[in-house]
Chains A and B, each alone.
Chain A
Amino acid sequence: MMRGSVIKYGDNIDTDVIIPARHLTLSDPEHLAAHCMEGLDPDFLKKRKPGDIIVAGNNFGCGSSREDAPVAIKSAGISCIIARSFARIFYRNAINIGLTILESPEAVDALREGDQVEVDPAAGTIRNLSRSETYRAAPFPAVIQKIIDDGGLIQFVRRRLSEKH
């Protein structure tokens, strides 16, 4: 269960604005967090609080395969991203590193900047505490849910490797 206020962005938030490539010579999560969203929203680091939730439109995370993008967002304290849709590599990367992402066009349409939200990823529910509304998120396919349940791809592969031996 996660709780925080909504920080709202538009469509096609690309990986170059989430974390520009010039910062990718260091993969330290603190370093990545310090530059998170600098191409899009210079106030992001000032306004975000631990647990806050990014709500965005279509195709969130389009562009590069850099896993540093979800790592930067997670390390900046964001607990969850709710979008209408995610770009495919970002989607995999977020699941793999254990950043909660949910697809819910309904929630994206209804949620406003600053709304207080409570998310239950297991149940697929998004509660808007500011306006007493509840929205549904799309469930994950079985393989992906397994990776989520394992806490990310590292543990998932660990288990698979030990099964092989």
Chain B
Amino acid sequence: MGMTITEKILASHASEAVVKPGDLIFCKIDLVLSLDIGTASAIKNFEMMGASKVFDPEKVVMVNDHFVPAKDIQAAELSRKMRLFARDQKLRHYFEVGRSGICHLLLIEKGLVRPGQVVVGGDSHTCTAGALGAFAVGVGSSDLAASLALGENWFRVPETIRIEFKGKLPEWTSGKDLILLLLKELGIEGARYRALEFSGETTETLPMSDRITICNMAGETGAKNAVVEPDQITLDFLKQQGIDAIDIVKSDRDATYADVFEFEVDDLEPLVAVPSLPSNVKRVREVEGVRLDQVFIGSCTNGSLDDFRRAARLLKGRTVHESVRLIAIPGTPKILTQMIDEGIAKIFLEAGAVLGPCTCGPCLGGHMGVLAADEVALSTSNRNFVGRMGHPTSQLYLASPAVAAASAVLGRIADPRELEGAT
């Protein structure tokens, strides 16, 4: 009996020839990711566990991205604890403000994620690393501490659901619309405890930025991990980072899947998740006209260079609507630099956007663009639960950078094709 890519990665890290869904196994971990919120608690647990050294200082990554530059004294204390720990443990991969970015994008950009790895991170969107063909899962502070101490953790081998996208994506649709389409179909817990594996002709042509978006938001279906089978695009991406000679793990042809979903995307329209679940997905056309106070382009979901390029195509020569605040936050300093080099930063600034430092920004409602009572926002991020971006009565819509840019210009939720005069 064949295995899926997820089963193969878990089996190899548990030194087993074969694993099957439902098995509880201890797995070696290749990379542990830890952030400014959560690390302080993990360190406390780490010490209470009686641990003194991390399992491997080369395999631990600590990133400042959530509440930095420190939003208040308490946030400053959280970063300080992480900084001192990283120094004390002589961690090779500690990312300080200025050299740091959104952890999930930074991990990939820095070449720290490789196909076939087991990655454990103290953030639910750690699943993003599946875009490169890794098994990547989010955990809480205790599991993070255990992973730092032991270099291994227990996992239940998940069943895999295969998702096949077929056809050519229409203009102004992107990976965000694909994952919203899947969320509409599967719902908020349709893949709970399961692995999502993306394949099919559409996926095979998607650039890494869209694969990142899809794997990032796959967690909103309840999935344990998400993975795109590594292919030539993966290898080319890794080559650009100077990484050659990678062993590729792929699913066996006779692997068993719990379910298979196929989507024809030739006629896909821009989609939007309406308050207050990421799975409340509608066509943009069904809600166009909803007035907006704020638009956010960025986050680990859509903070890649391609995302800002797409938004810039719509913003060029236009201005943000007078009643809207457009907040644009590139994922990493490298992305920001490229935005400057390509003239994209200028397009955003001339349109009237504010460009923020490379962080999570207002996505989680703590910093840099928190919403007041009853305000309405559209964001390219991943969650729109009650109070996610601020006051519990604020309303949050989720969509692609193209929809965000068009909506920022028009001051209301809008289909990019309206702005381009294509409808």
Contacts and interface: CB of A to CB of B under 8 A. Distances in A.
B170 interface: no
A67 B142 contact: yes
Interface residues of A, number: 44
B189 A59 contact: yes
B141 A67 contact: yes
Contacts of A152: 142
Closest 10 CB pairs of A and B: A67-B140, A25-B74, A96-B142, A93-B140, A59-B189, A21-B364, A16-B385, A39-B387, A65-B124, A65-B138
Given A24-B366, A25-B72, A62-B188, A161 B124 contact: no
A116 B145 CA distance: 37
Interface of A: 12, 14, 16-17, 20-22, 24-27, 38-40, 58-59, 62-68, 85, 87-89, 92-93, 96-97, 141-144, 152-154, 156-158, 160-162
Interface of B: 24, 37-38, 40-41, 44-45, 48-51, 66-67, 71-72, 74-75, 77-78, 121-124, 126, 138-143, 145-146, 149-150, 154, 156, 188-189, 192-193, 222, 224, 277, 364-366, 370, 383, 385-388, 392
B124 to A, nearest CB: 4
Given A65-B122, A87-B222, A161 B150 contact: yes
A85 B71 CA distance: 36
A59 to B, nearest CB: 4
A39 B373 CA distance: 13
A59 B48 CA distance: 30
Nearest to A24: B37
Select the residue from A38, A63, A87, A158 with max chain B CB neighbours within 10 A: A63
A63 B220 CA distance: 7
Contacts of B37: 21, 24-25, 66
B38 A67 contact: yes
Contacts of A40: 386
A64 B78 CA distance: 18
Name which of A88, A92, A142 has the most chain B CB atoms within 10 A of its CB.
A88
B51 A16 contact: no
A157 B146 contact: yes
Given A20-B365, A88-B193, A157-B150, A64 B50 contact: no
Nearest to A20: B387
